[in-house]
Amino acid sequence: MKICVLPGDGIGVEIMAQAVRVLKALDLKCELENALLGGCAVDATGSPFPEVTQKLAKEADAVLLGAVGGPKWDVLPREQRPERGLLGIRKHLGLFANLRPAVLYPELANASTLKPEVVAGLDIMIVRELTGDIYFGQPRGIEMRDVDGSKQRVGFNTMIYSETEIRRIGRVAFDAARRRNKKLCSVDKMNVLETTQLWRDVMIELSADYPDVELSHLLVDNAAMQLVRNPKQFDVMVTGNMFGDILSDEASMLTGSIGMLPSASLDENNKGMYEPCHGSAPDIAGKNLANPLATILSVAMMLRYTFALEERAQQIESAVKKVLAQGYRTGDIYEPGTTRVGTKEMGDAVLAAL
Ligand code: NAD
């Protein structure tokens, strides 16, 4: 098992240190190689995604990423900004499938803005296509055109999916549903958009290969409503790049605790990059305040999806549940009556629970 570790910037360094301690405690045969991505890479090499990192990431079976970015680099030209490193590595590794679980541990039910009975125990997964759709379709642009006899600026983008692209993200989603509660909801806008009519057709064709998974469909506007009305009706949801961008953020906010949410981005061979959903949190960086659990849970996703070590993944997830049940909380999830701990102490607690 070759793992490329990219702590990144801000709290990335602190949360990754705890995630690596947890990984090492499992005593698996793995080789860890550290490299630079983001602002730290700009400082050291002038590029947010230097060649050495490109090579290590390509050679590894999986990449663990902390977070990148910070105000220090916001003044740089766009191509040198840390976020370019993030887009660069996703493209470099051909990561087309983004898996974002939204889990609300019963102990944290008050963190959500929704009523506890609506969200307590929530455990859903959004599978988002990451490399196609209107975000990448050509032609695109803003240009002068004649509209009703007057010259004016017109903006345009192209929503496009080939059936190959739909089928490969569909397979990832059906496989994910198979590992969970065997329910998959595909989200589209087939009543208006031909691209998503094809999306629905291909999902239906694929379902013949997954008779054990119950496939349903929702239009995206209804899906957005259902996610806040009764999110626990879902198990896995699959959708395109733009709808997935919006719905995955909506789903993560149901939990109210950004420091708890891991994610995975996979290629065709289940090689993946695993990272917390949050950013580099410059406001709390270097103060031992960051919640490392999203990154620790990203290690669990890596063991499950890239290395097929389901039991080891569950071992980490159970340790996190235990630590929460014991009442340990970093500042972002703190409530009176619980024990406030720092980043390192949260790592200690997870190790003890393991
Ligand atoms: P952010 O997620 O870094 O922070 C938003 C808020 O959540 C802050 O108040 C922060 O303190 C808090 N927070 C985030 N993670 C936390 C954790 N683990 N524990 C406790 N509190 C946590 O988003 P932002 O402030 O909009 O962005 C900061 C920087 O991060 C920017 O440079 C942005 O570009 C970058 N960013 C990077 C990624 C990534 O690396 N994938 C994602 C989003 C933003």
Say yes or no: 301 and 233 in one domain.
Answer: no
Instruction: Let me know: does 61 contact 1? Beta carbons within 8 Å.
Output: yes
* Rounded Cα gap, residues 6 and 104, in angstroms: 27
With a Cβ cut-off of 6 Å, ligand 1 is lined by: 11, 15, 67-70, 83, 86, 258-259, 275, 278-284, 290-291, 294, 330, 332
Say yes or no: 145 and 47 in one domain.
Answer: no
Instruction: For residues 303-310, give the mean pLDDT.
Output: 95
Question: Ligand 1 centre and the CA of 68: distance in Å?
Answer: 9
Per-residue confidence band for 79, with pLDDT thresholds at 50, 70 and 90: confident
Residue 273: alpha-carbon gap to chain centroid: 9
Say yes or no: 343 and 248 in one domain.
Answer: no
Say yes or no: 145 and 127 in one domain.
Answer: yes
What domain count does the chain have? 2
Atom number in ligand 1 closest to CA 71:
32
Helix-strand-coil split of the chain, %, nearest 5: 45, 20, 30
SS3 69: coil
- Which residues, at least 6 apart from 192, have a Cβ–Cβ distance to it below 8 Å? none
Say yes or no: 184 and 201 in one domain.
Answer: yes
Mutate to test the pocket of ligand 1, among 280, 334, 345 (most ligand atoms within 8 A of CB): 280
Say yes or no: 144 and 184 in one domain.
Answer: yes
Say yes or no: 7 and 91 in one domain.
Answer: yes
Per-residue confidence band for 210, with pLDDT thresholds at 50, 70 and 90: very high
Which residue has a Cα nearest atom 11 of ligand 1? 281
Structural domain boundaries enclosing 133: 101-262
Percent of the chain at pLDDT exceeding 70: 100
Question: Ligand 1 centre and the CA of 279: distance in Å?
Answer: 3
Say yes or no: 67 and 191 in one domain.
Answer: no
pTM of the shown model: 0.91
Mutate to test the pocket of ligand 1, among 278, 288, 334 (most ligand atoms within 8 A of CB): 278
DSSP 178-197: HHTTSEEEEEE-TTT-HHHH
Instruction: For residues 14-33, give the mean pLDDT.
Output: 97
- Which residues, at least 6 apart from 198, have a Cβ–Cβ distance to it below 8 Å? 161, 163, 166
Question: Ligand 1 centre and the CA of 39: distance in Å?
Answer: 14
Question: Ligand 1 centre and the CA of 130: distance in Å?
Answer: 20
Active-site residues: which are they?
Answer: 135, 189, 221, 245, 249
**Alpha helices, DSSP H, located in 230-335:** 241-255, 293-305, 310-325
Question: Ligand 1 centre and the CA of 216: distance in Å?
Answer: 34
Say yes or no: 146 and 182 in one domain.
Answer: yes
Residue 258: what pLDDT? 83
Element counts in the chain: helices (H) and strands (E): 12, 14
What is the tens place of the pLDDT at every residue in 147-177? 999 999 999 999 999 999 999 999 999 999 9
Instruction: For residues 241-259, give the mean pLDDT.
Output: 89
Say yes or no: 69 and 169 in one domain.
Answer: no
* Rounded Cα gap, residues 315 and 303, in angstroms: 10
Domain edge (last residue) among 228, 262, 296: 262
Instruction: For residues 313-325, give the mean pLDDT.
Output: 96
Crossing angle for the helix pair 310-325 and 343-353, nearest 10 degrees? 120
Q: Is the pLDDT of residue 39 over 90?
A: yes
* Rounded Cα gap, residues 246 and 89, in angstroms: 22
What CATH number is associated with residue 24? Answer: 3.40.718.10
Instruction: For residues 330-342, give the mean pLDDT.
Output: 94
Q: Is the pLDDT of residue 188 over 90?
A: yes
Say yes or no: 242 and 125 in one domain.
Answer: yes
Per-residue confidence band for 256, with pLDDT thresholds at 50, 70 and 90: confident
Atom number in ligand 1 closest to CA 292:
18
Say yes or no: 90 and 107 in one domain.
Answer: no
Instruction: For residues 102-120, give the mean pLDDT.
Output: 88
Burial label, 153 (beta-carbon count in 10 A; 0-12, 13-18, 19+): exposed
Instruction: Let me know: does 259 contact 50? Beta carbons within 8 Å.
Output: no
**Residue written as tokens 């698996």?**
28
Q: In what order do the strands lie in the sheet with 272-276?
A: 31-34, 2-8, 62-67, 272-276, 262-266, 97-103, 123-129, 236-239, 183-188, 214-219
Atom number in ligand 1 closest to CA 295:
18
Which residue has a Cα nearest atom 13 of ligand 1? 281
Residue 255: what pLDDT? 85
